[in-house]
C-alpha cells in the first residue's frame, strides 16, 4: 500500500511541477550521476557505476527528446549537440572505467544548469 501511495504522490508531484523546476531537477540529477559514477569508478564498483551511467544516459535522452525543435531551431540544435557530446563522454567513461570524461561532462552541464536557473528566476 505504501509503495502505491508513494508512486501516486510522485506522479502528482511530477505532473504539477513547473517546467523550470523539472528541468532543474533533471540537470541536478544528471550532475549527481556524473559524480556518483566517478566515485564508483574510483572504488571499482561496477554495478554502482552502471546504475549511475544508465540513469545519466536516460536523463540525457529525455532532455534531448523534450526539445521543441520547431520553436527555436538553432537553440535546440545547439542543445542537442551538447547533449550528444555529454552522452559521448558518459559512454567513454563507462567503457574505459575512466572518470575523466565525466568531469568533462560536468563542466558542460553545470554552466547550462546555472544559466537555466538564472533564466527561471527572471
pLDDT per 10-residue tile (average), the chain, 122 residues: 56 67 95 98 97 98 95 95 98 97 98 94 86
CATH number at residue 73: 1.20.120.340
Whether 10 is covered by a domain: the verdict is no
pLDDT of residue 19: 84
pLDDT of residue 13: 56
Q: H helices within the chain, ranges in order?
A: 2-16, 19-43, 46-65, 73-96, 100-121
pLDDT of residue 58: 97
Host H or E run for residue 39: helix 19-43
CA 26 – CA 30 distance, rounded (Å): 6
pLDDT of residue 20: 87
Three-state DSSP at 54 gives helix
pLDDT of residue 29: 97
pLDDT of residue 122: 84
Whether 108 is covered by a domain: the verdict is yes
Whether 35 is covered by a domain: the verdict is yes
Whether 83 is covered by a domain: the verdict is yes
Whether 8 is covered by a domain: the verdict is no
Structural domain containing residue 23: 19-121
Whether 49 is covered by a domain: the verdict is yes
Whether 101 is covered by a domain: the verdict is yes
pLDDT of residue 93: 98
Whether 97 is covered by a domain: the verdict is yes
Count of domains observed in the chain: 1
Amino acid at each position: 500500500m505504501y509503495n502505491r501511495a508513494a508512486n501516486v504522490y510522485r506522479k502528482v508531484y511530477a505532473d504539477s511541477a513547473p517546467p523550470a523546476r523539472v528541468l532543474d531537477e533533471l540537470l541536478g540529477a544528471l550532475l549527481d550521476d556524473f559524480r556518483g559514477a566517478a566515485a564508483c569508478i574510483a572504488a571499482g564498483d561496477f554495478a554502482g557505476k552502471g546504475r549511475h551511467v544508465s540513469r545519466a544516459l536516460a536523463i540525457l535522452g529525455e532532455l534531448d527528446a523534450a526539445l521543441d525543435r520547431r520553436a527555436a531551431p538553432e537553440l535546440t540544435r545547439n542543445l542537442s549537440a551538447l547533449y550528444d557530446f555529454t552522452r559521448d563522454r558518459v559512454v567513454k567513461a563507462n567503457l574505459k572505467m575512466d572518470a575523466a570524461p565525466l568531469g568533462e561532462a560536468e563542466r558542460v552541464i553545470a554552466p547550462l544548469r546555472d544559466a537555466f536557473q538564472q533564466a527561471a528566476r527572471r
